Structure 1
Amino acid sequence: MLAAVLPFLFLIIAIPLEENDQIAFGIAICLVSLIVGRVFNSRLIVIILILSSVTMTARYFYWRVTSTLGFTQPIEYVLGFLLLSAEIYGVTIMSLGYFQSIWPVKRTLVKLPDNEALWPTVDIFIPTYNEPLSIVSTTILAAQSIDWPLNKLNIYLLDDGNRESFKKFAQDAGVHYLTRTENTHAKAGNLNAALKRSKGDYVAIFDCDHIPTRSFLQMTMGWFLKDHKLAVMQTPHYFFSPDPIERNLKVHGHIPNEGELFYGVVQEGNDYWNASFFCGSCAVLKRSALNDIGGIAVETVTEDAHTALKLSRKGYNLGYISVPQAAGLATESLNAHVNQRIRWARGMAQIFRIDNPFFGRGLKLGQRLCYATAMLGFFYSVPRLIFLIAPMAYLIFGWEIYQTSAMSVFIYALPHLFMAQVAGHKIQNQFRHSFWGEIYDTLLAPYLLLPVLVAMINPKAGNFGVTRKGVTRFEKNHFDFPIAAPTLALLGFNLIGLGFGIFHNVYLEHGNLQTTFLNLFWVIFNIVILLTCLYIAYESKELRSTPRVEMELPAAIYLPNGKTLYASTRDFSSKGFSLQLPPGYELKAGKTIEIGIFRGVEEIRLPFEVKTGGNILGLQIGDLSVQDQRKLVEVTFSRADNWAQNWGINRQVNPLTSFKELMGHALLNHRRLSPSKKLK
């Protein structure tokens, strides 16, 4: 079908049109696509929108290359081709993304045999290095609650910190404790050392803050028995705490989390091409396949993606099931978030440098493109920075790095940009709101530039950096000037360009007015994005020692007088609960009462201290035995229905609404930085 329509597509892309005809053509394509996208909801419509977007993009670039590169000055030549290169990168990533997500695989449960004797043995690895025991213990106890025959399940606490308190907890909980004398190859080395000291048929890996539900193995293991070439079954990384962007902009639960695009759209698309990545946690791996490639990859700091690439080269299948079966903690500070993304970017650049998916044996075309998309996607820092400073070339210096009229840019570029938004919205809206990707990319671009370039030159440079969880607390609101410095510099440059352009080009009437306004609109868009990024650096106060999960669970309060009062939780953590009493009932603080928490017909009763009285109680959990802690985890964090019920039900908005909300964050958040406002 594609071959049949290619000649017609070429005519659409290359045929010259008069200005009015091009305007009419662009409007017609955009309107029809917009109406079709809103009225119909099928995969065929998504494919049509993708083809329409690619066609309008190709038409724009055909015009761009043939009509806008007539430079007259050397500086214009250099800057003009830098801008064109940045545009080519953006379109390449967009097109690869379309390819990646053209036909997502929606896997469902594969039932295990009724005879449990046929079920394989599974080792659960929980690696840790410097995280607090309060975080790790919850994951250990949840792993013990997984529904699997006890004689076929072994849990290993892999402590690279070699801490006596962790060893004692492992003994008390009844799990294996493994450590080693050296920390070579960081997490990958820790996992490989455990592989040599265990013998289960399969290995399930959880980062120490990723708490599994009891149904984790029931949801994943059936696929291995169905497909004997399957080496990895990955599940989403779901976060019950807000990342610093969500927390500081106060959009947690209102805007989809950054990772949801990857786990909600990209991984299902990768699965069609047999290239769904191992992501380091919340996954099951086949031991024999790992042995076949020499264990977890140690050559790069992104050991997970590199391990998946090696398995693919060996001909193994990789799978992904988009049902959250574990939940963890997001990065707790902007500084930690940036450092984590630097490690990811460096690792992907290392793989691209030393084990490039375009070369070598064992990969099919779809796999090569999916792996390459993941790696090339982290090179966005260079084009992003170019887009942030490009309009100043004309506004401040008068250099014309885009050799054409503003009207021509408008009538060719706008359909390309509009169709990209329409198609992207149709594909991603459930897991990513329009324009929010600009925020994440702009915020991180200055920090990723050097690590990515260095990794391409010297892939051995840089060390593995552990992202610490459960330890960051902010006693008061504060603005992180060091982390915001690049954003401040870029914002200042754009504000200078805005002011100079208005005064010099508009007020004094120097330069072409249409070209000036085009660049001014570009600068204003940059300023909106940069202002939002700036406010993210305003770290909000956080005093809680453990993040809360907002969830309503049935509960019962057993009063000293023998009466029972039924209530429900508002939220919970490993340290306490918030409990909503029925209307008209209140309890005083300072008492210790027995609370029952229900999971179906099952109930656990534990003593809680009432720290905050009233109709909404603040309850603190006292010292519990390991057995009672395990019971509490079973009815809270490890419930099978915890995270899946909230997956993919984000509020959906159209691109215009999304941009309006973004404008609101950019223009209204300055109130939080007002010196007259008392920070508590």
Structure 2
Amino acid sequence: MTKPSRASVTQKSMSLFLSIFFTKKIVRFLFFKFHSYFNQHKVSALAAFLLPFLLLLLSIFIKLDNNNKRRLKAKLAYLYPHVSKPIVTPANSIRIFLQSLYLLLFNVSVKKNAPKNRIRSHYSAKFFQKSARFIRYLDTKLVRSCKRLWLLGSSKSTTQSYQKIASAKLWRNRFLHFMFYGLLALAVVIFVTVPFSLEAQAIFISLILLVSYSLRRVKGQMATIAMITLAVTSSTRYLWWRYTDTLNWHDPLALTLGIGLLLAESYAWLVLILGFFQTINPLHRKPIPLHKDTALWPTVDVYIPTYNEPLNVVRPTAIAAQSIDWPADKLNIYILDDGKRPEFKEFADEIGVGYLDRPDHKHAKAGNMNHAMKHTSGEYIAIFDCDHIPARSFLQMTMGQFINDSKVCLVQTPHHFFSADPFERNLNNHRQIPNENMLFYGLIQDGNDMWDATFFCGSCAVLKRQALEEIGGFAVETVTEDAHTALRMQRAGYKTTYINIPQAAGLATDSLSAHIGQRIRWARGMAQIFRLDNPLLGKGLNIGQRLCYINAMLHFLSGIPRIVFLTAPLALIYFNAYIIYAPFIAIFLYIVPTLLQVKITNSRIQGKYRYSYWGEVYESVLAWYILKPTTVALFNPNKGKFNVTEKGGFNDKARYDWLISKPYIILLAFNVIGMCYGVFRLFFGDTSQIGVLLISMLWASYNTMILGAAVAVAAEAKQVRSSHRIKANFPAAIRLSNGRTMKVKITDYSDNGVGIETAHEHMCKTNDKIELLMSRGKKQFSFPTYICNTRDKQIGLTLRDLNLEKQKAFIQCTFSRADAWLDWQDNFKHDKPSYSFKKVFTTSIRGFNNLIFHAPNQLKPLINFITRAMTQLASLLPINPKKVF
């Protein structure tokens, strides 16, 4: 097929249309016939407008004798490639109309030497392209200017001058302090409360947005503080506008729903402000070396509490605890078995660790550890969940904090998981997208540490026995005994610290339902603390500690606000209720730039630990399920019990969890139907409502994307491995049956297998027996293995017939390595909001596909009908001809 060779294809095509129209008598005849038909039957003006396009396309297929006319026909077919036969159909009329509008706005460049996918702007597109160039130019200039300002003090002389000024006695004057803060508060009040015209608001918010957008690439803490200041100003101004100008007092329904949305926005604003405060200056505490004389080191008890976990989960943790580098006479390890299982006692006796049980299960994990405190006497207590395998350097990395400061009562380290959690496994993005826990352990805990408000997280931590005894042991009044215990020690005047270096790793939850159950317990426990031991009240805490605890508790109260945000746009679409009672342009100028500015700032602060838009997905999955327990706990804090999180299981087949996903599916259906109804109202409703209706539909489409991603998580992936493979990269060697030794690299391992990579081609075969040689420090160990698979330079080994000593040595060489988990944060690049949006969008599409694939047979006909309808609607959309030919 011959393609057009001129740039102005659209103008030529229109002239061609007219020439064919006026030269074909049959077309004129048909036109008058159809015109009279339309007049007689009073067909709508839209159909009459579509008629010429339909007839013009019909003329393409009239038999032509001239070669030039055939080329014209080919060009028209090129411009309208998706018009099918027969031509005269309502669907083709819509296709021609939409494609003609597309060609009017975008003139496809078809020069011979033009790039393949290049599109030249036309009319309004030229304006947008020039605007984009101007914004990029302005962005570059702003970034350079901001960098110059922030690097102004980089020279030595300037820095010294700043230091002299900063250390001057003038700044110690309390009057100047009050004056400075007063002026700052006055400036904020002015910028927040003074009413602007729409033009002034557009200029004001545009400047804030452009400066923030430029500062995102400027390194340094001052740039972050500046972005936070701008985000606080714009978001506070938005909330002031909402309270003063946007409530519809004349419509009871709109007022009720509007107040509900306003309260949800107030909650989001408060959490945003507290989050900025919490993470504005993370501490990044470093380990403190211990005294070289080990005789001065304190005694430590290691607690490994367990209830119903299988022995194969507890075994590696107990063996790894024996490998911790600490004097043997100062280290005592105890398995705290709340399940009273004989095989656990036999195992403890076999490996030489302590075993403790108790006559009842009162107060669950907290009661179990309080019982153990009565039978042990170590100066410090290290606690590991039974699936958390400690590195041998754990105590040497943590104990220095206690020796350095006698008021330190807790040293917490991150919870790292070597298995994928349900989000990572079901969405197949393990080690690609930061998981849900990473924001807390990667950033928030460092922020808490800055304010001396580090939370105890129940595992991977060391506590001072004296502090625990002073507060009466581990807290038992709530189901989150860990955070409550830390709060009580801080009230008693002790300090808590955090070292952001993973020194243990464990198993993530096995399924989405188990994951949600764990979060329900956390949410209920934080709500109980809020009622029973409110951090805002009572003595012993400074303002920073109080705000950090309140922010943590508010985080688990997000159920109702998140559901409000997921349903708010439907109020206007379904009930015509103006929940934001303001003109379309005002809504746009206040909401959209503010949201963008907050997104940019959060991306700057959280970019390595939480990617944009994924926070909404995580909250949407949990919202419905934490709503009830938190609400109940606020009214009845003593209701609820401790539930143990199941780990170490597997899924024998892929399935879809319809029960757990029911709330998301219902919310998704409401939003999808709302968008369809919104389209209907656009064409047949009040034209004065088009602006606010479009905003509501845009909001509903965003909710649909988030809920689609939430639906995708409920498709449980098949997991048949009970032993999880852990990626690795350290040297080893193998000894073949002929005595030859080869250097290899360990690429992954589990508790019963190892993956290796050879430097050269090998002659190894499946089922061959070889020795695997690994080292720990200066000690070298050998392990009998069998080859289970080979591929190029990759070899899979299976461990067999390992006695107890060999099992200990293998865990020391793999799970207990001091550097085993150090790269946990290095796998992720800084967040790019556009990339994150794309990933969430594709995940949402996957969610819709999951619903179709796993749908019950009774719903398959309806789903097939909807799918065909959506496909038919998609076929009406304009097409870029260059992408077809």
TM band (smaller chain): over 0.9
Letter in 2 for 1:474: N
Establish whether residue 528 from structure 1 lines up as the match of residue 701 from structure 2: no
**Residues 507/546 of structure 1: CA separation in 2 closer, same or farther (3 Å cut):** farther
Establish whether residue 575 from structure 1 lines up as the match of residue 752 from structure 2: yes
Alignment of 1:11-30 (within 5 A): 11-30=190-209
Alignment of 1:32-431 (within 5 A): 32-38=211-217, 40-431=218-609
1:589 corresponding residue in structure 2 = 766
Corresponding residue SS for 2:729? coil
With 586-595 and 504-513 compared, the bigger mean Cα shift is at 504-513
Task: Report the alpha carbon displacement of residue 244 of structure 1 after superposing the two structures with TM.
Answer: 0.4
Corresponding residue SS for 2:430? coil
Letter in 2 for 1:250: N
**1:432-466 residue CA offsets vs partner (Å, 9 max, x unmatched):** 11111001000110111111111111111111110
2:76 corresponding residue in structure 1 = none
Corresponding residue SS for 2:823? helix
Alignment of 1:611-626 (within 5 A): 611-615=788-792, 616-626=794-804
Task: Report the alpha carbon displacement of residue 597 of structure 1 after superposing the two structures with TM.
Answer: 2.1
Contact 2:713/2:847 (8 A) holds in 1:
no
Corresponding residue SS for 1:379? coil
User: For the residues of structure 2 that align with 1:434 and 1:370, how far apart are their CA atoms?
Assistant: 22
User: For the residues of structure 2 that align with 1:226 and 1:578, how far apart are their CA atoms?
Assistant: 42
User: For the residues of structure 2 that align with 1:265 and 1:342, how far apart are their CA atoms?
Assistant: 23
Contact 2:388/2:505 (8 A) holds in 1:
yes
**Residues 513/340 of structure 1: CA separation in 2 closer, same or farther (3 Å cut):** same
**Residues 579/49 of structure 1: CA separation in 2 closer, same or farther (3 Å cut):** same
User: For the residues of structure 2 that align with 1:620 and 1:182, how far apart are their CA atoms?
Assistant: 41
Letter in 2 for 1:644: L
Corresponding residue SS for 1:617? strand
Task: Report the alpha carbon displacement of residue 675 of structure 1 after superposing the two structures with TM.
Answer: 3.9
Contact 2:432/2:827 (8 A) holds in 1:
no
Q: Which runs of no fewer than 5 residues in structure 1 stay unpaired?
A: none
RMSD (Å), alpha carbons = 1.6
User: For the residues of structure 2 that align with 1:386 and 1:408, how far apart are their CA atoms?
Assistant: 22
Corresponding residue SS for 1:512? helix
User: For the residues of structure 1 that align with 2:520 and 2:498, how far apart are their CA atoms?
Assistant: 25
Q: TM-score, normalised by structure 2?
A: 0.75
Corresponding residue SS for 1:400? coil
Establish whether residue 519 from structure 1 lines up as the match of residue 684 from structure 2: no
1:598 corresponding residue in structure 2 = 775
1:655 corresponding residue in structure 2 = 833
Contact 2:305/2:365 (8 A) holds in 1:
yes
User: For the residues of structure 2 that align with 1:483 and 1:61, how far apart are their CA atoms?
Assistant: 35
1:541 corresponding residue in structure 2 = 718
2:189 corresponding residue in structure 1 = 10
Task: Report the alpha carbon displacement of residue 670 of structure 1 after superposing the two structures with TM.
Answer: 4.3
2:662 corresponding residue in structure 1 = 485
Corresponding residue SS for 2:478? coil
Task: Report the alpha carbon displacement of residue 649 of structure 1 after superposing the two structures with TM.
Answer: 4.6
Corresponding residue SS for 1:410? helix
Contact 1:505/1:511 (8 A) holds in 2:
no
Letter in 1 for 2:706: I
**Residues 421/519 of structure 1: CA separation in 2 closer, same or farther (3 Å cut):** same
Contact 2:248/2:254 (8 A) holds in 1:
no
Contact 1:430/1:649 (8 A) holds in 2:
no
**1:536-565 residue CA offsets vs partner (Å, 9 max, x unmatched):** 101111111111101123222211111112
User: For the residues of structure 2 that align with 1:457 and 1:501, how far apart are their CA atoms?
Assistant: 39
Contact 1:71/1:403 (8 A) holds in 2:
no
**1:369-428 residue CA offsets vs partner (Å, 9 max, x unmatched):** 111111111000000001111111110111111111121111112232122112211111
Task: Report the alpha carbon displacement of residue 168 of structure 1 after superposing the two structures with TM.
Answer: 1.0
User: For the residues of structure 1 that align with 2:337 and 2:675, how far apart are their CA atoms?
Assistant: 54
Task: Report the alpha carbon displacement of residue 668 of structure 1 after superposing the two structures with TM.
Answer: 4.4
User: For the residues of structure 2 that align with 1:177 and 1:200, how far apart are their CA atoms?
Assistant: 15
Corresponding residue SS for 1:552? strand
Contact 1:141/1:633 (8 A) holds in 2:
yes
2:862 corresponding residue in structure 1 = none
User: For the residues of structure 1 that align with 2:458 and 2:654, how far apart are their CA atoms?
Assistant: 33
Contact 2:678/2:693 (8 A) holds in 1:
yes
Paired residue total: 675
Contact 1:264/1:648 (8 A) holds in 2:
no
User: For the residues of structure 1 that align with 2:284 and 2:432, how far apart are their CA atoms?
Assistant: 25
Establish whether residue 642 from structure 1 lines up as the match of residue 820 from structure 2: yes
User: For the residues of structure 2 that align with 1:376 and 1:673, how far apart are their CA atoms?
Assistant: 33
Establish whether residue 476 from structure 1 lines up as the match of residue 646 from structure 2: no
**Residues 591/340 of structure 1: CA separation in 2 closer, same or farther (3 Å cut):** same
Letter in 2 for 1:547: H
Task: Report the alpha carbon displacement of residue 15 of structure 1 after superposing the two structures with TM.
Answer: 2.1
With 607-616 and 167-176 compared, the bigger mean Cα shift is at 607-616
Establish whether residue 449 from structure 1 lines up as the match of residue 631 from structure 2: no
Tell me which structure has the larger Cα radius of gyration.
2
Corresponding residue SS for 2:537? coil
Task: Report the alpha carbon displacement of residue 512 of structure 1 after superposing the two structures with TM.
Answer: 0.1
2:679 aligned to 502, 505, 520, which one?
A: 502
Task: Report the alpha carbon displacement of residue 508 of structure 1 after superposing the two structures with TM.
Answer: 4.1
User: For the residues of structure 2 that align with 1:204 and 1:301, how far apart are their CA atoms?
Assistant: 20
Letter in 2 for 1:136: V
Corresponding residue SS for 2:556? helix
Task: Report the alpha carbon displacement of residue 648 of structure 1 after superposing the two structures with TM.
Answer: 4.8
Task: Report the alpha carbon displacement of residue 75 of structure 1 after superposing the two structures with TM.
Answer: 1.5
Contact 1:430/1:648 (8 A) holds in 2:
no
With 45-54 and 288-297 compared, the bigger mean Cα shift is at 45-54
User: For the residues of structure 1 that align with 2:656 and 2:688, how far apart are their CA atoms?
Assistant: 39
Q: Which has the higher contact order (CA 8 A, sep 6+)?
A: 1
User: For the residues of structure 1 that align with 2:394 and 2:460, how far apart are their CA atoms?
Assistant: 9
Task: Report the alpha carbon displacement of residue 618 of structure 1 after superposing the two structures with TM.
Answer: 2.4
Task: Report the alpha carbon displacement of residue 582 of structure 1 after superposing the two structures with TM.
Answer: 3.4
User: For the residues of structure 2 that align with 1:6 and 1:652, how far apart are their CA atoms?
Assistant: 33
Contact 2:748/2:755 (8 A) holds in 1:
yes
Corresponding residue SS for 2:762? coil
With 357-366 and 599-608 compared, the bigger mean Cα shift is at 599-608
**1:553-583 residue CA offsets vs partner (Å, 9 max, x unmatched):** 3222211111112222221111211222334
1:556 corresponding residue in structure 2 = 733
Task: Report the alpha carbon displacement of residue 365 of structure 1 after superposing the two structures with TM.
Answer: 1.1
Contact 2:423/2:435 (8 A) holds in 1:
no
Contact 2:610/2:831 (8 A) holds in 1:
no
Q: TM-score, normalised by structure 1?
A: 0.97
Corresponding residue SS for 1:285? strand
